[in-house]
Amino acid sequence: MMLPAVLLNAPLSWRDLSAVARGAALVLSPEAWARVGSAHALVEAIVSQGIRAYGVNTGVGALVSTVVDREKQRDLSRNLVMSHACGMGQALETAAVRGIIAAQVNNFAHGRSGVRPELVEGLLTLLARNCVPEVPSRGSVGYLTHMAHIGLVLIGAGSAHLNGQRLSGRAALDAIGMSPLVLDSKEGLSLVNGSPCATGLGGYALSRIETLLDTADAVAALTLEALGAQTSAYEEQVLRLRVSTGLHQAGAALRNHLAGSRRLARAAGTRLQDALSLRAVPHVHGAARDAFDAVCAVVDRELRSVTDNPIVSGTPAAPVVESEAHAVAPALAIAFDSLAIAIAHLGANSERHTDRLVNPLVSGLPPFLASDPGATTGFMIAQYTASALVADNRRLCAPASLDGGINSALQEDYLAHPTAAATKLLAVIDNTEYILGIELLAAVEAHDLAVDPADRAPGTAAIHRHVRARVDRYRDDRPLADHLNIGAEIIKRGLPT
């Protein structure tokens, strides 16, 4: 399905950015193009007037005091891209790279960077033709490396993916009818600078989390019904006593999914209260929703901010260039660290649900949801897998924002690591999608084993049908991994709400 184009006039929102990440075109307004052009005129004036400017006519980092003559400034721009393209490891996925490009275009459109319109057009062409630079995921302390690998393709180097093929950067440009750029003064530095890497990755992460939050509510409802939970804990008048917008949203979702359940109506009052992992679903999911809302606001503020260094202002007759530290972005790093913990809590509680579904000591269901207990083990080891993923999330949730680091001969002696926090958040999301997928398939299996279809709530019945249309019951008749991977894909795509 074609997504509507995103118009960049005022700064993008995280939703705009995530739409571009998922395939929407990005279009600049005339006003945005005017800002880009005006800023470039200021850089031209700075160069022609010989005004000292970091990364324009000086070296970078600890080489800030080294003068770069006019005839070498283009070399400096190209060399910065070449030397900063030192990422390592597995490549980022397409949506993540597109999100980074969108965030960088947004940064340039503030009109404080000074790159030429031709450079912005080049980035927009990569998006429009879905020509995706190959960007290694590791090796960034907060910025620099990811955008450098994108910049490589703009100048006809590096590698890119186009129509399912991996091509050299030059071959990819030829295929989309684009000539390699010759970078001008400051363009190399502006390409690799700022916080677009973390912002782009974070905006894409938020789009996945939004789906994950709704899906977690739906999966929990299926589990609660299978286990005959006491729904009094989720009643509106009870939850209203705790102040939390997210908690109230999660509670409303549970009540919507479970409305009309005969199984739960019969279970009412059979226990004084359920285990905490069941009673606390609105609280855990609500805390994640509240954290999500807070981080959405942080990312939107980042997109409204200029994060290049240095920045230009004034007029061509009297240009001004100023150095600052807007690229450091500790607010982003702290926000992503916090959100990773919140999402890890979703996964941890989901794993407890899986255990209660498969554990014959508490479930009231066939042991491990096995079709023939003894001869088959059913979901016994699926719970082990969920437990391992929860442990992995726990390790990942050590704060990236406190990693520190001293670089470039003491010139860059404080780091907040927002990009590392964003990639870590994406890893936690991956794990949690798997964990929820395991709970989903276990809960559907439990329904098949113990819940009369006539007793299901309409909401949970819709979820059950949705899953069973995609995957059959599990009877130890195929590798369990194949089964569980389908569950994770269903989680990623979302469930009926």
Under DSSP, is residue 28 helix (H, G, I), strand (E, B) or coil? Answer: strand
6-193 belongs to which CATH class?
mainly alpha
Residue-range domain boundaries for the chain:
6-193, 203-300+324-493
Phi, psi of 406 (to 5 degrees): -125, 120
Q: Between β-strands 6-8 and 26-28, what pairing exists: parallel, antiparallel or unpaired?
A: parallel
- Nearest Cα neighbor of 25 from 92, 96, 98 is 98
CA 146 to chain centre: 15
Q: What is the DSSP letter of 132?
A: E
Q: What is the DSSP letter of 491?
A: H
Cβ burial 208-230 (10 Å sphere, 16+ → b, else e): bbbbbbbbbbbbbbbbbbbbbbb
Q: Residue 339 class from Cβ within 10 Å (0-12 exposed, 13-18 middle, 19+ buried)?
A: buried
Under DSSP, is residue 347 helix (H, G, I), strand (E, B) or coil? Answer: helix
pLDDT given at position 405 = 72
pTM: 0.95
- Nearest Cα neighbor of 183 from 59, 58, 77 is 77
Q: What is the pLDDT along the chain (497 residues), one digit of tens a residue?
A: 678 999 999 999 999 999 999 999 999 999 999 999 999 999 999 988 988 888 788 877 767 777 777 778 888 889 989 998 999 999 999 999 999 999 999 999 999 999 999 999 999 999 999 999 999 998 777 677 899 999 999 999 999 999 999 999 999 999 999 999 999 999 999 999 989 999 999 999 999 999 999 999 999 999 999 999 999 999 999 999 999 999 999 999 999 999 999 999 999 999 999 999 999 999 999 999 999 999 999 999 999 999 998 999 999 999 999 988 898 999 999 999 999 999 999 999 999 999 999 999 999 999 999 989 999 999 999 999 999 999 999 999 999 998 877 665 656 667 888 999 999 999 999 999 999 999 999 999 999 999 999 999 999 999 999 999 999 999 999 999 999 999 999 999 999 87
Q: Residue 74 class from Cβ within 10 Å (0-12 exposed, 13-18 middle, 19+ buried)?
A: middle
pLDDT given at position 1 = 64
Under DSSP, is residue 161 helix (H, G, I), strand (E, B) or coil? Answer: strand
Helix, strand, coil share (%) of the chain residues, nearest 5: 60, 10, 35
pLDDT given at position 65 = 72
CA 82 to chain centre: 27
Q: Residue 113 class from Cβ within 10 Å (0-12 exposed, 13-18 middle, 19+ buried)?
A: buried
- Euclidean distance between CA atoms 34 and 37, whole angstroms: 5
Under DSSP, is residue 295 helix (H, G, I), strand (E, B) or coil? Answer: helix
> Which of 3.10.20.30, 1.10.3980.10, 1.20.200.10, 1.10.150.110 is the CATH number of 203-300+324-493?
1.20.200.10
pLDDT given at position 409 = 61
The answer to whether 196 and 14 have CB atoms below 8 angstroms apart is no
pLDDT given at position 408 = 59
Report the run of H or E that residue 434 belongs to, with start and end.
helix 418-450
449, two tokens: 């084993």
The answer to whether 86 and 352 have CB atoms below 8 angstroms apart is no
Residue positions counted in the chain: 497
Residue 385's CB: how many other CB atoms inside 10 A?
Answer: 18
pLDDT given at position 167 = 98
Place of tokens 């019969």: 266
| DSSP code per residue over 210-248 | HHHHHHHHHHHHHHHHHTT--GGGG-HHHHTTS--HHHH
Residue 484's CB: how many other CB atoms inside 10 A?
Answer: 23
Cβ within 8 Å of residue 350, ≥6 positions away: 216, 219, 220, 386, 432, 435, 436, 438, 439
- Euclidean distance between CA atoms 8 and 326, whole angstroms: 21
- Nearest Cα neighbor of 121 from 83, 173, 80, 74 is 173
